[in-house]
């Protein structure tokens, strides 16, 4: 136990995807002090490790009381577009920690409030007072909560069906007790990360008839829960699940995380695919036993964004690295994203007893197949390199294809990606739609620093740093809608007026 105490205390700014950094430091410092006290009282803390903890706490408080400008772009920043023929409108504001949205119809939006577990409805820009649903969510740390939504398109008299993914709590919101960003006290664990299907009642006012489709792990956590839900062109339901910090415990190190002697996959570290009734799709891609037959892809550390290319039908995702190596990936059936054997083009090297970092980039592996040990499942378990990498983490989140020419023909069917710093990026694809059309300093597929990424910058200011973009959607009007974790939904329009 004593040998792992400093590891338990680690935290890093790039993992505070959904929490104000300064508030995160304050909360961590307060809970860490309580935790230390309890250990000291019970003689569980060695003097050497106690000194290490005190140094970490001092650093925490020092950073916590720095002016907020060290952590945010601007408290009053407004979105700005690179293309001066495009403008940004506010659709709704005053939401509490919105994570995802989905459209019921024109000017009719369902929005998830991550920490409250409430599904809100916005009609013509007005947030209705009564939520459609309020579920119990674990939310004591920044990445648990109500995380993903999509709506099935029914062209018959059947009820509209809504799919939700959330970290479910037993009785009430916030039952989990997590003093640190990578440690929770035992005994207060969530029920799990769960995918449910609901029916929308005839009045479009309540979500009813919950059906549990997937019951997935939520420990050790509390980070890396993933959460994006997408109904694919095949009408199956896809949900991305992170590794839930599975490398922390021997019992949660699975083959799906590329641990050579890992336990059987349990639903973490992958993209899972099921029918709208929660059943397997055929015989499965990676195997026929247990949950393995539901994996569409694996080796994923964590992701906040995925979407299907409307032209080719290919699936793409974003992936968050540790202290380096955020990615954009083309996700073919059976795709192995490489974690924990490789991230970006580098082999992760564990950093021990460091207060702010967990993995550093090790040896460069431009073509790691044959040089790195990956876990393979049948003929489909195949690693392929990222199509784009941020060397310096920017916490990419939502990914969306714009299947419309309402912003101009030059953007039709292109890819748009957001990050938690409030930046919006635009990527063209090559003719066969299997790669990004990169140029200049990005031709090597790597943004080595923030300056190199400027060539694909589409907009900025969609929320302050680390409270930026959580979702991007295409509305019935063919415009891009951008969700800021600060509580605002924006719409990008051409010429500054409603189409």
d(CA 317, CA 388) in angstroms, rounded, equals: 11
Q: How confident is the model at residue 371 (pLDDT cuts 50, 70, 90)?
A: low
Task: Tell me the per-residue pLDDT of 83-113, one tens digit each, with 9 for 90 and over.
Answer: 999 999 999 999 999 999 999 999 999 999 9
The mean predicted confidence, pLDDT, of the chain is: 84
Q: How confident is the model at residue 77 (pLDDT cuts 50, 70, 90)?
A: low
Q: How confident is the model at residue 156 (pLDDT cuts 50, 70, 90)?
A: confident
377 vs 243: which has the higher pLDDT? 243
DSSP string, 422-445: S-EEEE-B-TTSSSB---GGGTTS
388 vs 381: which has the higher pLDDT? 388
Determine the pLDDT at residue 466.
Answer: 78
Determine the pLDDT at residue 365.
Answer: 65
Task: Tell me the per-residue pLDDT of 299-311, one tens digit each, with 9 for 90 and over.
Answer: 999 999 999 999 9
d(CA 348, CA 383) in angstroms, rounded, equals: 16
Determine the pLDDT at residue 65.
Answer: 38
Please say if the pLDDT value at position 36 is more than 60: no
Determine the pLDDT at residue 95.
Answer: 97
Please say if the pLDDT value at position 337 is more than 50: yes
Determine contact, residues 453/380, Cβ cutoff 8 Å: no
Determine the pLDDT at residue 52.
Answer: 47
List, in order, residues 6 or more apart from 480 with CB less than 8 Å away: 400, 402, 407, 416, 472, 473, 474, 491, 492
User: What pTM value is reported for the model?
Assistant: 0.85
In the DSSP assignment, the letter for residue 160 is P
Task: Tell me the per-residue pLDDT of 465-490, one tens digit each, with 9 for 90 and over.
Answer: 778 999 999 999 999 999 999 999 99
Q: Which has the closest alpha carbon to 416: 344, 486, 492?
A: 492
Determine the pLDDT at residue 6.
Answer: 25
Q: How confident is the model at residue 378 (pLDDT cuts 50, 70, 90)?
A: confident
Determine contact, residues 442/455, Cβ cutoff 8 Å: yes
62 vs 135: which has the higher pLDDT? 135
Backbone torsions φ then ψ of 264, nearest 5 degrees: -60, 145
Please say if the pLDDT value at position 290 is more than 50: yes
Please say if the pLDDT value at position 267 is more than 60: yes
């Amino acid at each position: 136990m004593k040998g792992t105490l400093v590891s338990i205390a680690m935290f890093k700014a790039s993992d505070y995807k959904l929490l104000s950094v300064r508030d995160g430091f304050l909360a961590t410092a307060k809970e860490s002090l309580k935790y230390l006290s309890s250990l000291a009282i019970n003689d569980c803390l060695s003097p050497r490790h106690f000194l290490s903890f005190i140094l970490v706490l001092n650093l925490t408080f020092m950073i916590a009381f720095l002016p907020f400008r060290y952590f945010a772009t601007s408290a009053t920043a407004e979105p700005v577009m690179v293309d001066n023929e495009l403008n940004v409108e506010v659709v709704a504001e005053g939401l509490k920690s919105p994570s995802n949205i989905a459209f019921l119809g024109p000017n009719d939006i369902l929005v998830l409030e991550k920490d409250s577990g409430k599904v809100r409805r916005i009609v013509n820009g007005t947030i209705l007072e009564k939520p459609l649903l309020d579920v119990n969510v674990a939310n004591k740390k920044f990445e648990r909560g109500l995380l993903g939504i999509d709506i099935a398109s029914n062209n018959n008299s059947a009820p509209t069906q809504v799919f939700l993914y959330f970290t479910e709590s037993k009785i009430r919101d916030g039952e989990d007790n997590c003093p640190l960003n990578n440690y929770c006290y035992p005994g207060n664990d969530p029920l799990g990360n769960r995918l449910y299907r609901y029916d929308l009642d005839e009045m479009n006012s309540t979500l009813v008839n919950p059906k549990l489709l997937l019951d997935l792990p939520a420990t050790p956590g509390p980070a890396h829960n993933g959460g994006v839900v997408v109904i694919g062109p095949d009408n199956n339901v896809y949900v991305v699940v992170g590794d839930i910090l599975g490398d922390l415990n021997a019992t949660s190190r699975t083959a799906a995380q590329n641990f050579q002697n890992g336990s059987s996959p349990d639903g973490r570290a992958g993209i899972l695919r099921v029918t709208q009734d929660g059943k397997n799709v055929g015989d499965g891609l990676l195997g026929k036993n247990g949950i393995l037959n539901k994996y569409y892809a694996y080796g994923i550390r964590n992701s906040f964004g995925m979407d299907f290319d409307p032209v080719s039908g290919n699936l793409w995702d974003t992936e968050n690295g540790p202290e380096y190596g955020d990615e954009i990936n083309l996700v073919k059936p059976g795709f192995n994203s490489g974690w924990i054997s490789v991230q970006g083009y580098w082999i992760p090297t564990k950093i021990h007893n460091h207060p702010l970092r967990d993995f550093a980039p090790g040896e460069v592996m431009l073509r790691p197949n044959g040089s790195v040990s990956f876990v393979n499942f049948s003929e489909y378990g195949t690693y392929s390199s990222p199509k784009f990498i941020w060397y310096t983490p920017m916490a990419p989140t939502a990914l969306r294809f714009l299947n419309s020419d309402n912003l101009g023909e030059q953007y039709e069917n292109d890819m748009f990606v957001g990050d938690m710093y409030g930046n919006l990026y635009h990527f063209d694809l090559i003719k066969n739609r299997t790669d990004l059309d990169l140029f200049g300093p990005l031709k090597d597929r790597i943004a080595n620093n923030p300056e190199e990424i400027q060539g694909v910058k589409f907009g900025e200011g969609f929320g302050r740093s680390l409270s930026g973009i959580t979702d991007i959607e295409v509305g019935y009007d063919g415009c891009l809608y951008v969700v800021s974790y600060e509580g605002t939904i924006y719409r990008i329009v051409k010429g500054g007026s409603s189409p």
